[in-house]
Amino acid sequence: MDTKTVIKSQYHASLEMLRQAVAACPPNLWNNPAQKNKYWHIAYHGLFYTHFYLHSSEKAFQPWPKHRREATSLELSKTHEPIRPYTKEEILEYHQYLSDRVDEMVDAIDLEGESGFYWLPFNKLELQLYNIRHLMQHTGELAERLWAVAGLEINWVGMGPKEKKDAE
């Protein structure tokens, strides 16, 4: 198995775990006013940055058609400015949009090239590890909220579905 196949597998596995966390979220948790960072906002943030860092650079970024800039950063939610929430259906739509593009985006990456983002001083291979870790940090945060508030768990996904079939 080559490096790009492994990277694609781990993106798909991570995205599937995020999808499970989004799909399982009960309505009372989605935009809970008691939470500083809303559930929907964490899910969007994880998807946005995964999508963003799969591009060759900031300038090359092609946003999801329903992208709203004010929803990208979790820091913005600390200003207490109201941000119109995305619905669960919209987040799942963005998830599918990104999942459908992961393979072609990873295939286009020069893993030995620079990150393409001046604030990330490493190569594209390390950027992929960084990106997957970021996605999983937020997926774990959502999974923890699901367990604490609703007693719901998400399933561990070890590899993408295509790679899993190939391994069998």
Please write the tens of the pLDDT for every residue from 115-131.
999 999 999 999 999 99
Mean of per-residue pLDDT scores for the chain: 92
Residue at token pair 């979790």: 74
- The stretches of 25-76 forming alpha helices (DSSP H) are 27-30, 39-53
**pLDDT of the residue at 155:** 95
Which tens digit of pLDDT belongs to each residue from 28-73?
Answer: 999 998 988 999 999 999 999 999 999 999 999 999 999 998 888 8
- Secondary structure of 78-125 in the HEC alphabet? HHCCCCCCCCHHHHHHHHHHHHHHHHHHHHCCCCCCECCCCCCCCEHH
The whole-model pTM stands at: 0.92
23, 100 in Cβ contact below 8 A?
no
What are the residues facing 114 on neighbouring strands? 123
pLDDT tens, position by position, 65-116 = 999 988 888 875 555 567 899 999 999 999 999 999 999 999 999 999 999 9
For residue 123, the cross-strand partners are: 114
**Does position 163 have pLDDT exceeding 70, yes or no?**
no
Task: Give the CA count within 13 Å in the CB-facing half-sphere of 2.
Answer: 4
Write down the pLDDT at residue 81: 67
Chain-centroid distance of CA 91 in Å reads 10
**Residue 83 pLDDT:** 82
Tell me the C-alpha distance between 96 and 119, whole Å.
28
Angstrom distances, CA of residue 31 to CA of 74, 80, 85? 14, 14, 7
pLDDT at residue 139 is higher than 60 = yes
